[in-house]
Structure 1
């Protein structure tokens, strides 16, 4: 690990989905056409990954709303 860190190649676990894929995944779940299990299988991830993506988007939307309120 010291060698990798010295070369600047030390990284954590890489995300399974890109931001675009995550947004699409969340929109499919919210549309009601697919269950979380179906979406998870479609994208090749676990259900917990789907739930985390939904939670991240919910938090981001909440932050955007709070920011919009403070700009007034």
Structure 2
């Protein structure tokens, strides 16, 4: 089996473009730290669900509460 570089659903080193975590999950603490493979293949952290979970910048939403007449807070 030959793997085409940069084509299909695999990285140039043979990793899937989307996976949960790799065998070095203990070293990166399930994606909380830097990826073990980031220097060898920069596409690997982009495919790791654990790494993306801890390193993505999600937009922050501001929640406003309305106080009702009896002191109860409501979203509406």
Same fold flag (TM > 0.5): no
- Greater helix proportion: 1
TM-score scaled by structure 2? Answer: 0.28
- Greater strand proportion: 2
